[in-house]
Each structure stands twice: as C-alpha cells, then as structure tokens.
Chain A
C-alpha cells in the first residue's frame, strides 16, 4: 500500500524554528515528486512547493518562496518542510502528497495524501 505518514502536531512560539516530515512507503520514493500544501484554519488548500527526492530539484510557489524550505532525504524516504522563524500566521494544517504523472514527472495529480500535520504558533 502506498502511504505517506507525516510527523505529529507541533506547538511553537513565534520566532522558533521547525522542521516537519513526510515519510513515504510502498513505492519507489525517489522517482515521484512530493508536494506540500497548506490549509489555514477554515480556509482552502494552497500549493506551497514540490521536491523531486531523486535529485532534490525543488519548485516553490511565489507566495512561499523564501518563507519555507523544502528538502528530502531519499536514503530514508522522507521529505521535509521547515521554517527558520515561525510567525503566528504560519498556524495551519500542512499536507504532503505524492505527485503522479504520466508524460512529464512534474505535471500530474496528487495521490495519496499524508494525514496532515497541525502546526500551531502562539506566544
């Protein structure tokens, strides 16, 4: 079974750093892009960026470029999303999802999704 399992909920203070993870299993992790998606409380889904674990090629949404860092360690089938200095506005649920494509590896659809990681930033 193809599965993405994310790290648990986090409660942090403004200014703190954080790295959350997404571990893939049941497929060849290195050859599929992984996307990160933010969902703020009561709001819609926002694509943050994607990474190709095979060579760590990374693409960011202009809205998130410079605000977060996406990385991956293919040796342990894990992708990461990290912040160097959290803000209250980073409070959200964060999902990772595998990108499936047929002709171009970057153009396709997201399936499956991780269970989500709730990040709460509050003083």
Chain B
C-alpha cells in the first residue's frame, strides 16, 4: 500500500488561503469518504483537523475546510495565520481494511 501523495511544502502569506492536495487511488480515497486530516507541530502529537472528508471537530477553527473529488482530497486553510505553520497529513481507509497516511506537507507562513 503506497502512501497518499501530498506536496512536500506549501507556503502563503498571512491572511491568504492555501490548499493541500492528497492524491490516492480508487482503492482508498476514491472508494470511501473516510478521509481525515491531521496537524502536527514540531515535537507534538498529531491533532485531528478534518474527518470524513469535510467535517470539522468541535474546537477546530472554521478557517479549515476539506473536500474531495475522485481520488484526490484537499485541505484548505483560509485566512492563514502564523500558528498554522505545521506539518499536515491526510489519511484514508482502504479497500484492504487498512489505513494509509499521506506523505505529509509542511505549511510555511511567509
């Protein structure tokens, strides 16, 4: 099971919007809406940001949103803030009854 493909890095200025893509296959992202996104700051445990493609947990800023089209899921951060600088990972359930994570994306606020 290959990792889902994410861009290695994405950057944006404060207040801008950025989008992180997460490309899988018809065996994972394309088959289910069980795609979730996690934020990880250096030295910290991952934190859930989006579940089931587009749902935001209580307490997560509404600046974070998710979507999916075909085999590609996306995470959009609007109104970018310095605190959004972190690594982001997507994950999907697969037809093999396993989970696969994305390669990870480092977001930089310039």
Contact = CB atoms under 8 A, between A and B. Distances in A.
Interface of A: 35, 37, 44-47, 50, 59, 61-63, 95, 97, 100, 102, 106-116
Contacts of A97: 46
A116 B45 CA distance: 7
16 contacts: A44-B103, A45-B38, A45-B40, A45-B46, A46-B3, A47-B100, A50-B99, A61-B98, A62-B96, A95-B45, A106-B93, A106-B97, A107-B32, A113-B45, A113-B46, A115-B45
A114 B101 contact: no
B91 interface: yes
Q: Chain A: interface secondary structure?
A: strand
B47 A45 contact: no
B57 interface: yes
B46 A47 contact: no
Contact of A108 (B51, B96, B102, B103): B51
Given A44-B101, A63-B1, 13 more contacts: A45-B46, A45-B101, A47-B91, A47-B99, A59-B97, A61-B98, A100-B51, A106-B97, A107-B32, A108-B52, A110-B36, A111-B51, A114-B45
Contacts of B32: 107
Of the listed residues B1, B34, B52, the one surrounded by the most CB atoms of chain A closer than 10 A to its CB is: B34
Interface in B94-110: 96-104
Given A44-B3, A47-B101, A95-B46, A110 B93 contact: no
B7 to A, nearest CB: 13
Contacts of A46: 3, 101
Contact of A45 (B51, B52, B89, B97): B89
B48 interface: yes
A107 B101 contact: no
Nearest to B99: A47
A113 B97 contact: no
A47 B98 contact: yes
Contacts of A37: 46, 101
Nearest to A116: B45
Contacts of A59: 97-98
